Amino acid sequence: MTKRLIIITGASSGIGEATARLFSSLGYPLLLLARRLERLEALDLPNALCRKVDITDRTALLQAVAEGEAKFGPVDAIINNAGLMLLGDMTQQDPNEWDRMLDVNVKGLLNGVHAVVKGMVERRRGTIVNVSSTSGRKTYPGHVAYVGTKHAVHALSENLREEVAPHNVRVIVIAPGACDTELQTITTNDTVKAGFKEWKEEIGGVILAASEVAEAIRFAYEQPQKVCIREIVLASTNQPV
């Protein structure tokens, strides 16, 4: 096997699933992580180790990475993609929802960084791809806590990039706009959900496909190790905000 191991968190649906399919089609060995193991296994990809891991569980994540490396060799890239979006006005939103987003989108992502960065620095090679959002670059109504988590992803990624650049390790932020996945379905506030549907219709119903975000990840990763595409912000051309 000539291609190196890639780890994808949140590979059970949406952008993570599309990225897993794309990298698999290109012959990369994969470690796929998510809580819905049955969805990972149903992808039925060759050279893919699937593990049920909640990324907020640091011990389980480290264990899965160790297993992946034992099977396929040192990790060359982690795509820290797992995340969730629970929208709502601050006057109404249940604080437990902020906790979940901060735990997964920020602390879980840091767990992913922690699991691989030391080895990458030692090997003087590797790539950390952090999936943020246009919500990491700007703000939107009803997005306060989510925007906070994604601005944190942008900020910590840039600081991490500065830290590991002298060790020849890359940090890449992928920041998509609205994308057709399960992400919007988990918001508990029905008014916000209806608002998203209305907005989508207003812009002509055209938002990114998960495969289009996966392609941006592939493009950034497949540059030579000496080229670090620091950030890609992409959205459907119709998306004005």
Residue numbers annotated as active site: 146
For position 84 contacting ligand NDP by CB under 6 A, the verdict is yes
Q: Minimum distance between the CB of residue 148 and ligand NDP, rounded to whole angstroms? A: 12
The amino acid sitting at 30 is L
Quick one: 37 or 121, whose CB is closer to ligand NDP?
A: 37
Interface mask toward ligand NDP for 26-65; x: CB under 6 A: --------xxx--x--------------xxx---------
Quick one: 84 or 216, whose CB is closer to ligand NDP?
A: 84
Q: How many chain residues touch ligand NDP (CB under 6 A)?
A: 31
Of positions 81, 93, 127, 157, contacts ligand NDP by CB under 6 A: 81
For position 10 contacting ligand NDP by CB under 6 A, the verdict is yes
Quick one: 111 or 127, whose CB is closer to ligand NDP?
A: 111
Q: Minimum distance between the CB of residue 223 and ligand NDP, rounded to whole angstroms? A: 21
CA angle 18, 20, 23 (to 5 degrees): 105
Instruction: List Cβ<8 Å contacts ≥24 apart for 34-39.
Output: 34/9, 34/10, 34/82, 36/12, 39/12, 39/13
- Binders in 144-183 for ligand NDP, by CB under 6 A: 176, 178-179, 181-183
Query: 231: which strand partners?
Result: 173
DSSP per residue over 29-78, as a string?
-EEEEES-HHHHHHH--TTEEEEE--TT-HHHHHHHHHHHHHHH-SEEEE
Distance CA 199, CA 142 (A): 13
User: In what order do the strands lie in the sheet containing 30-34?
Assistant: 48-52, 30-34, 5-9, 75-80, 127-131, 170-176, 231-234
For position 13 contacting ligand NDP by CB under 6 A, the verdict is yes
User: Beta strand 30-34 with 5-9: parallel, antiparallel or unpaired?
Assistant: parallel
Residue 86, CA atoms < 13 Å, CB-side half-sphere: 16
For position 87 contacting ligand NDP by CB under 6 A, the verdict is no
For position 142 contacting ligand NDP by CB under 6 A, the verdict is no
Residue listed under structure tokens 């099977």 = 71
Quick one: 49 or 210, whose CB is closer to ligand NDP?
A: 210
Q: Which residues bind ligand NDP (CB under 6 A)?
A: 9-16, 34-36, 39, 54-56, 81-85, 104, 108, 131, 133, 176, 178-179, 181-183, 210
